Amino acid sequence: MCCVLTALLVTFFTAWRARLKTMIECWPQVRIATTLVTATIVFVAVSAVAAEHAWHYLSRAQANERTVLAEFMAQPICRGSN
């Protein structure tokens, strides 16, 4: 699921950037604002996904009596739902 959400975010930002290209070239302030807004949205999305994955691997590590690093190495990132 995380791979699909990441692909959708990349597609959205690519289309959004293409549409705003003319406006960005005309006004430098729009370019700065667009960059900051995009960076903020990406940061929040990545933080949420990272937090979810951290809790997931922590609970699996406790259930399997392993370290989080060992659990992370034992399971591929995009394997699908269990």
In tens, the pLDDT along 5-26 reads 777 778 777 777 766 676 666 7
Which residues fall within 8 angstroms of residue 31, CB to CB, at 6 or more apart?
A: 24
Tokens representing 47? Answer: 């933080």
Question: For 38-78, what is each residue's pLDDT tens digit?
Answer: 889 888 888 887 777 778 888 888 888 888 888 777 766 55
Q: How many other C-beta atoms are found inside a 10 Å radius of the C-beta of residue 75?
A: 13
Compute φ and ψ for 64, nearest 5 degrees.
Answer: -95, 5
